Structures are given as C-alpha cells and as structure tokens.
A and B are shown apart, each in its own frame.
Chain A
Amino acid sequence: MKQYDFKAADYCVSGLRGFTLNEALRFWKAKFETIKHFRRDVITHTLLEEFGDFVSEIWDSIDPITVQEALAEKNTERRRVMFDCIGVARLFKELEPELLDRQVLRKSRTRWDSSNKLYVHSFEDTYELYRLDGNKLFEPLNKWSRANPVYAVRCWCTTTNREYWIYVPETIALNVPEWRRSEGKPDAIRAIAWTIRLDIMNPKRIFRQGDIIVAEESMDSYEVEPYHLNKEQYLNLLFSET
C-alpha cells in the first residue's frame, strides 16, 4: 500500500488552503477538543483514514496555537483562521476583551446580478469595538512598564459571514489623545471608517469588494495626501459593498 508523505502535502483549515502539516496540526489541536472530534469532522472519507491514524498517534504531543500567536499574525485571512480555531469563547476567556461599542447598521447597497442588472440589497452589518490588555499580548519591556492597550474592530464579511478582527489606533478608537484615555468616546463605526484610506478629495462614491476599495472620481476630485475616512464619509460614500 502506498505511504503518503504527509509533510509534503498542502492543508486546508477552516476553508483556507496553503498550510503546512505542522501549522494544520497546531490549528486543529486548538480547534478540536479531542482526537475523536478531529476524526469526526476532518477524517470524512476512507481515503483519509491513514492520515487520521497518523494524527491520532501524535495528537497528545501537538502544541495548539495560542491566542498571542493569533493576535501577532499579520495576515488577516490567516488570523481569521487562527481565531476560528481558537474559538471566540476561549479568546474572550483568555484575553477578556472589553467591549467599548457595538453598532448595528441597517444598510441598503447596490449590487448586480449575473446579467449585470442592478438591484438593492438590504442587510444588517454589525461592528464591535474592543480594548485588549496589551500586557496579555506583549512581553513588557521590564517589570515596571505596562504595554499600551490594543484596539480592534470585530466585524463580519457580509458575503462569507467570516469574522475578522482589524486593529485601529487608540486615537481613532476613542477620539481623544492617549493622556485623556478616560474621557474617550469609543465608536465602532468611526473605527471601521478609518480602515479606508484615500488620496483624492470629493470622491463621487466608493465601492468595496472584500479588502479592495474602489473610489470613483467626481468632476471636483483632486489628489491630496492620503487620509482616512471619517464616520460621516463612511456612512455617505459607500455605494456598494460585497
């Protein structure tokens, strides 16, 4: 019987391909409570039995990925998979993120069918702004120092329903400088608006497809230094989002 080289294969975890064997094992160890759960959900075909046996043998020696590793991951899609594997319940238990603001927007956006015919799609979009304790994420420089808090918007892709955490600066999250942190006025929409950065004034309208932002120029548009959208611009200029 042919022996597969498991190390040479490419692995798919939580709908994302391209992981090495070691990465996939560590992700699965975080995701599944026991090897039984792993086998039930991953070994779904007799052709995978040999791989299931291989994982069963080493299961106890696999180190699951940590929350800190997930938060340090720069690639948002990989970060999404890591959070998915760790699970929101464990993420919240370990990090105890403080929910600062939650807003649900009722949006009506233009979409097109397969014949390029325009229609209006109405949906609810939820944004949550969190503060994370920097000391749980970073090693302090010394025993007297404390790491600054980290702010992140938790949002869901309106097409795939995947959950994303996107980091934003404190001044945007709270709308006050660092030394007036206690007077901050957190706003999840202001935070997500900040993630769109343009370099033209007076755009006619904005289209968003995933992480790609397309701004249509108007007759009055002109080039400026890059700037981030404010809440009002975000609410008024987004014409289509998918």
Chain B
Amino acid sequence: MYTNKSKRLVLGEGETIGHKHVLECSADIAYEKTDDHIRLMLKGMGILTHDEHDRIVLDPGRYRSYNQVEFNPMDNTVNRVFD
C-alpha cells in the first residue's frame, strides 16, 4: 500500500515563498503520493513544522495530507490553493 519510506517528508512547498511544510519522524514514514493527496503511516510521533506556522504533533497512525482548495471563477474549476 505504501511504496516509499522516509524519515522526512515534505507535505507542501510554497511556490512563491519556498517555505515547506515538513513532517519528520524518528521512525520511517511510509507514504504514497497521488495527484490529490499523500497517504502516510506514522509508526512514531510525527512533527509537522513550517517557518511561519506553529508545529503540529501527530500520533502514530494513518493520515492523508491535502491542499486547501478554491474555486476558479474564470473557468469554473476547483484548484488547490497554492502560495
């Protein structure tokens, strides 16, 4: 189900600012990326950090990471919010 492993995983990166949402865990993070989300499994405590935001601490478990979305009134599509 999860084809990749890493102790550090970038969940999102600001295209303009370049700041990253970085998830780190002492144990390997098993994960799978698709176009819409990142599926991941934590076997230890995960810590999500970003230069401009407070940290988030995740307990061991299964998670999915997404981008916030918004409507595009020019072409009536739904796109991820990107910064």
A binding-site residues for B, Cβ under 8 Å: 16-18, 72, 74-78, 111-112, 114, 116, 118, 134, 137-138, 148, 150-151, 159-160, 166-169, 172, 195-200, 204, 207-217, 221, 226, 228, 240, 242
| B residues less than 8 Å from A17 (CB atoms) | 17
Bound complex: CA A242 to CA B37 (Å): 20
Q: Which 7 pairs between the two chains have the least Cβ-Cβ distance?
A: A77-B83, A242-B54, A217-B62, A211-B68, A150-B73, A242-B53, A213-B66
Given contact pairs A16-B17, A77-B83, A134-B73, A212 touches B54 in the complex (Cβ within 8 A): no
| Among candidates B62, B67, B76, residue contacting A212 with C-beta atoms closer than 8 Å | B67
Among B31-83, those with CB < 8 Å from A are 36-37, 45, 47-48, 50, 52-59, 61-74, 76, 78-83
- Give the docked Cα–Cα distance between A216 and B60 (Å): 10
The size of the chain B interface, using a CB distance under 8 A, is 43
> Do the beta carbons of B72 and A167 come within 8 Å of each other?
yes
Q: How many residue pairs bridge A and B at CB < 8 Å? A: 141
Inter-chain contacts of B68 with A (CB < 8 A): 166, 195-196, 208, 211-213
With a cutoff of 8 Å between Cβ atoms, the chain B residues found around residue A216 in the complex are: 58-59, 61-63
Q: Are A118 and B57 in contact (CB under 8 A)?
A: yes
CA distance A118 to B81 in the complex (A): 29
A166 touches B65 (CB 8 A): no
* In-complex Cβ contact of A75 among B16, B36, B48, B61 (8 A): B16
**Is the CB–CB distance between A195 and B58 below 8 Å?**
no
Q: How far is the CB of A33 from chain B (nearest CB, A)?
A: 26
B16 touches A77 (CB 8 A): yes
A75, A195, A196, A217: the one within 8 Å of B82 (CB): A75
Question: What B residues does A72 contact at CB under 8 A?
Answer: 74
Smallest beta-carbon distance B32→chain A, Å: 12
